[in-house]
Copies of this chain bind each other. A is one copy, B any other.
Amino acid sequence: MQNAPMHDVVVVGAGLAGLSAARQLTAEGLDVLVLEARDRVAGRNEGAVFRNGVPVELGGQWVGPGQDAVLALIAELGLQTFQVYDAGRSVLRIDGGLRYAEGGAFGLPDTALAEFTRVQELIDDLAAAVDPADPAAGPGAAEQDRVTADAWLRENVRDEAARRFYDIMLATIFAADTCEFSLLHLLFYVRSGGGLVRLMSTIGGAQDSRVLGGTHRISEAMAEQLGPRVRLRCPVRHLEQEEGGVRVHFDGGAVRARRVIVALPPVLAGRLRYSPPLPANRDSLTQQMPAGTVIKFQVAYERPFWRETGFSGTALNLDGHVGLVYDNCPPDASCGVLVAFIEGTHARDAADLTPEQRRQLVLAELAGLFGPEAAEPLDFLERNWSEEEYTRGCYGGRLGTGLWKRLGRSLREPVDRLHWAGAETAEVWNGYMDGAVTSGRRAAAEAAAALAAEPAGSGAVAAGVSTVAGTGSA
């Protein structure tokens, strides 16, 4: 054990954040090892294949304009994107009836649509004033932090249908109900992604395009470049500070590193063991930045039958469990695919059903939106991300009332030789693939700068002793 191999940096987690960090550090000539718990890379980007051979994503699947880092990375890795299909009429289910609309009108009644737009502009104005580097610092932040998004919406949205629309639409963005995060978290997230309409939109927005073959190919391509620097089936359990570095214990072994980048969602980072234990405020953050709650369904049909009657495949459902549906066909439309989401409280209810009950529930609601053909799929895949031991919820972590102000600083602040990456730590496109990529690079830059400032060998040992002692006395 004493002679476990010493790396410049060990990265915990081979999702987009961890692999982006490792790739950057490797390019700078540093010796990096990535330890991944699963038998695959890509974390919340999991690929699957329908029985007919069409690839599809069980996790994060969209990229869009403004996500410059991930789009450049995709191009650099030789992968291709294609725009989603969203032509024709969308469907809104409300009060037991269906309403149809072209473009971005959602099918809301005129008064509700006007109120939606007024509030959207208000949210965007408030969001524009938030500093994404320090959301708790703004002039209105103290008040925005202590109020739930739900409470704010109930006070500010003056139309019942518009309010219900916001509840469901925001639940689809956060995979959480609006009473589960603060107004400040909503505003920060909107600011981070460049506006509410962008977060909501397919074409031109955050759901604009997909990666040919699946988003997991981004991580796979990076892992191929990193080669033996990525080790699968190595769940890290314990990070132990010692003289001159950190001993990283995983199932079946241990390695040493001068710096460690923990590229896990905050909840999972909080479940590692640390010696010495993490400071109170960092640990406290990991106790209360829960992951979202979402079950994702990919449903294959012989053909995209909804297109034939002028439907886009986009649906928002204010009545049922399935909140949001999109057309998710392959670019050649060789088969039809609908992607459907159950989120927030509905996902918790649905988690208690059997897989067959959930299938029946989803197909019945799809049939209610698109007609009886939707109940006769070729294939049906689901993923409840809250069940995944090495993810425990999607899309990203959120902060409830009071927490940005009290604990936000602990999101990124390094602890001894530990640096924190992951989509939750991003300033720009927080919670998205783009944010994951830039978070990994930010943590890599931190680690590289720390290594450059610290002479290797005896100098590193001395620095290590001093850092550890400083924490021990806290």
- Which residue numbers of A lie inside 8 Å of B, CB to CB? 145-148, 150-151, 177, 179-180, 237, 267, 270-271, 277, 279-281, 283-284, 287-288, 290-291, 293, 345, 348, 351-352, 354-355, 384, 386-389, 392-393, 400-403, 405-407, 473-474
Contact = CB atoms under 8 A, between A and B. Distances in A.
A345 B281 CA distance: 10
Contacts of A271: 270-271
Contacts of A386: 280-281, 283-284
A266 to B, nearest CB: 9
Contact of A148 (B270, B351, B392, B401): B401
A277 B385 CA distance: 12
Contact of A348 (B277, B284, B293): B284
A296 to B, nearest CB: 13
Contacts of A348: 280-281, 284, 406-407
Contacts of A145: 179
Give the copy number.
2
Given A287-B291, A401-B400, A402-B179, A280 B384 contact: yes
Nearest to A407: B348
Nearest to A155: B151
A434 to B, nearest CB: 25
15 contacts: A145-B179, A146-B179, A147-B148, A148-B148, A179-B401, A180-B401, A277-B389, A279-B351, A284-B291, A284-B348, A284-B386, A287-B392, A288-B290, A387-B474, A400-B401
Nearest to A276: B389
Contacts of A407: 348
A393 to B, nearest CB: 7
A400 B284 contact: no
Contact of A277 (B146, B283, B387): B387
Nearest to A148: B401
A401 B402 contact: no
Contacts of A384: 280
B283 A392 contact: yes
Most buried by B among A279, A284, A345, A386: A284
Contacts of A473: 354-355
A271 B270 CA distance: 8
Given A148-B148, A287-B291, A281 B352 contact: yes
Contacts of A147: 148, 151, 179
A284 B277 contact: no
A350 to B, nearest CB: 10
A293 B177 CA distance: 25
A186 to B, nearest CB: 14
A402 B448 CA distance: 42
A151 to B, nearest CB: 6
A150 B393 CA distance: 28
A281 B237 contact: no
Contacts of A345: 402, 405-406
A247 B184 CA distance: 44
A407 B345 CA distance: 9
A275 to B, nearest CB: 9
Most buried by B among A147, A177, A279, A288: A288
Given A287-B267, A290-B288, A291-B287, A351 B281 contact: yes
A355 B473 CA distance: 8
Contacts of A179: 145-147, 401-402
Nearest to A284: B386
A177 B402 contact: yes
A148 B178 CA distance: 13
B290 A284 contact: yes
Nearest to A288: B290
Nearest to A384: B280
